[in-house]
Structure 1
Amino acid sequence: MDLLTFGRAALACYFTFIAVFYTAKLFALRARTGRSHLARGPRGSAQAVGRTFFNVFRLAIWGVCVARVIDPRVDVLVGRFDALYTAPVVASGLLFLVASLALVVYTHSYMAEDWMTGTSAEGPRQLLTGGPFAAMRHPLFVAVALGQIGFFLALPSVFSLVALLVGISVLRIQAHVEDRALDARFGSAWRAYAERVPAFAVPGPFRRRARG
């Protein structure tokens, strides 16, 4: 099996695992804590709209990845960039996906029952500042961004580029929503934390500090 064929199967397995992992965790946390760890946000809010876009693209990504295994001609439909679709580029994309998964698992393990997807009215019970949160305020968002970059490199195409741009935009919006919620809940403690820790521990447009 060559690397490009392996990459097709790896993408389908990767995004299937991600879907199963998050679904199972939501059910497990609800069974353990007696409350939902899924917050969609008020209807029409930035969080709700962003989550809708994100979920649609996540489902589409999974569908495309599985369909490519069944019929490689799907690559034509998603507008594959043939000049970039080479073994070294695909391999780098798979490495990004592995890094993303490692950070996801580490952060989820650290957060345990404090994890929640989205921001609810009740808010988090405590302000986490250790572990991965000592380096960045939103490690899970960084992990997702790494995964989106990895997906684009593993399948360089019009579709994966649009998914990357939409994904990064939604992550930035959600990070702002969560920062505001944490500021309202923890006040000066959060602001002191935000002054010393960046939202995203990467350079460029993804790095954003809090506004006092």
Structure 2
Amino acid sequence: MNMANEVLEITEFTRIYLAIFYSAVAAFYTVRIILMKRSNAGEIIFPGKRFCSTWWNHISFRFFRATIWLVCLCRLFLPAVDNYLGIVESLQMKAVILTGIVLLTLGFISTIMIHYKLGKQWRSGIDPNGPSELVSNGWYRYSRNPMFVCVAIAQFGFFLAMPSLFSLVCLMIGLYTLNSQALAEEKHLFILYPREYKDYCSHVRRWI
């Protein structure tokens, strides 16, 4: 089998995989949030005041997550959509695409693991009344923002799995919003746990 056929086959596989993958992501977060709201009997989504930086982070991330899902679904049924995504032909290689799929999958699986490790403490955004305790064990022994690191890995994997100007824009905006949100959340934790969080920051890096 020549290289052109290999790329064609992996591209067709990726169309199916990405459509299923992002549908599973959408289903996971929808079910997870519904169940947690019932379990906690309260709100768990905190975008912040309208038009503040964290609100824009929340809106941007939701918009691009929904857009990625829709694009992946459209690619499955309408392959010609690729003509409008700015595909980077130099990265259309089997090894690159497979690496992207692996990173995308591992990033999401790791994110799920952290979700369940946090349990009822997990929140989307900054809860003005929380968290009830500073989490510094498990994944948080190695990074102050392990969930964001895993999301960033998954986003980079998406770029490699579907190398294009579209996925590059999604990656850049995703990294920017993750960094902006991390800074806002750390500021909140400094207020809640001034001494404890300062000590924690002194020996654990923001990312990796």
Q: TM-score, normalised by structure 2?
A: 0.94
Structure 1 runs (4+) greater than 6 angstroms displaced? none
Asked if the contact 1:39–1:116 (Cα under 8 Å) also holds between the matched residues in 2, the reply is: yes
Q: Unaligned 5+ residue runs, structure 2?
A: 1-7
User: Does 2:42 match 1:35?
Assistant: yes
Map of 2:77 onto structure 1: 70
**Alpha-carbon deviation of 1:191?**
0.8
The CA distance in 2 between the partners of 1:194 and 1:16, in whole Å, is 36
The CA distance in 2 between the partners of 1:2 and 1:76, in whole Å, is 18
Map of 2:186 onto structure 1: 179
User: Does 2:122 match 1:115?
Assistant: yes
The CA distance in 2 between the partners of 1:99 and 1:121, in whole Å, is 31
Q: Unaligned 5+ residue runs, structure 1?
A: 202-212
**Alpha-carbon deviation of 1:58?**
0.7
The CA distance in 1 between the partners of 2:133 and 2:27, in whole Å, is 27
Deviations 1:96-139 (A, max 9, x none): 01210221121112101110010021121111001101110111
Map of 2:204 onto structure 1: 197
Q: TM-score, normalised by structure 1?
A: 0.92
The CA distance in 1 between the partners of 2:108 and 2:166, in whole Å, is 22
Deviations 1:36-95 (A, max 9, x none): 111110111100011111111111100111110001111111111122112111100001
**Alpha-carbon deviation of 1:176?**
0.3
**Alpha-carbon deviation of 1:199?**
1.1
User: Does 2:51 match 1:44?
Assistant: yes
The CA distance in 2 between the partners of 1:16 and 1:193, in whole Å, is 37
The count of corresponding residues between Structure 1 and Structure 2 is: 201
Q: Which has the higher helix share?
A: 2
Alignment partner for residue 105 of structure 1, among 108, 112, 118? 112
State percent identity of aligned pairs: 30
Q: Kindly report the root-mean-square deviation, in angstroms, between the aligned alpha carbons of the 2 structures.
A: 1.1
